[in-house]
Structure 1
Amino acid sequence: MEPMTPTCEQCGSTEITGRTADAEIELHCQTCGHRWARGARGCASCGGTELLTIPQLITTTPRGNQVSIVGRRQVVVCRDCDCDGVTAYLEHSTPLPPAYQSAARRITVDPTPSPPDAPRRRRTTSPRPTVTRPDPQVAHDDPESAPTHRLTNPTVRQAVEHFQSAEPGQDALVLIMFGRAVGPVSRLSEPQVRQVLATTDDWVAQNFSGSTREKAADTLRAFARHCAQHDWS
């Protein structure tokens, strides 16, 4: 049987180095700088031993601000310190959001900068010609000439991205579940979307419980207000 090659639990790279520390093996990813301990016995935050392994979404932004789910990774979490994420997965099979950081395995990035690239030969270029640009204040005196980027009847995904940009720090989990429930490409004007936004507390009560319910309800109410302020619903 061939030996198993370790992979980074954050980026999946196999460029891994390790060293023995306190009777455990400390692994270091050469690609992303993540460090973790193989065979760690307890939570890195509280020292507890009730650890679980649950999936976490992996996303990318291939075009502008559009977020696409490209896969999942397995993350070790603590039943106590990561209780919100554990509860959402055990009760609703909801993976951890992409930006979630496990308290059981604190994410650390190697602060040592990468070695500099080999010096490149400087190219001799002629001076650039001076370009006279119009005063932007004068150009925008005419209201019709000013650019506008106002969304009208956006999809659920577009509205959620706009809301997260305007009000960072909201509960990403309830927004992911809301998008999955009504469809990320559904328009806010569609009946099923308007029904959920009009009865946010009822929808949260059906999908959340315990300590996560209040935070989820606050976030969904704030999202509904955000949509109403922009005349989207």
Structure 2
Amino acid sequence: MFALFDPDDDFVVRRGRLPHWFQPGITYFITFRTTDSIPADLLRSWHLRRDDWFRRRDIDPRSSDWRAAFDERPELEREYHLVFSRPFMEYLDRGRGACPLSDTRLARLVAESLHHGDGTRYWLGAFVAMPNHVHVLVCLIGRTELAAQCRSWKKFSATAINRALGSRGRFWQSESFDHAVRSPEQFAYLQQYIAQNPKKARLAPGSYLHYQPR
């Protein structure tokens, strides 16, 4: 059910502030966060340092084939994770911003949006709604498009949450982080990461919402 990325099949790379790889019908690990979870100046600094890191290793971060160049040098992956991915996720776990999803009433609205297309547009894997961000594993069905599906989750949940709070305005950061899952071992690791994230962030029971399909 949870198909993996096939480097020999066709795929598309799109780029905003982050690169996004799309291949129909495969499994993704997706993170989306609230607008105030990371200050804009800190995020800009992170992007500049990351781009400079790539350039110093003779990889053009603005090139459409930067990922292929990166994959050809597997020794860089661990370093990248330690220098960029891990600190980014650890910063989110510190719980900056208003952290509205620590209210499980609001976290359930996010869960409702994730469950809505399960079995029709995608197969829903594990997810956790942390106070200011969400991690989810999902396998797209057919031609379901990743970016469009992420927008749908955000729009549905933001509308419901703003209604519940009696507020207006943007709730989610517009761009999400997504990673095409490449191996069964990586899938198992990400499931474990999702399950252990609340404990790692030292969250009290009732301040997060974890789902693990049977």
TM-score higher than 0.5: no
Higher RCO (CA 8 Å, separation ≥ 6 residues):
2
Report the TM-score when normalising by structure 2. Answer: 0.22
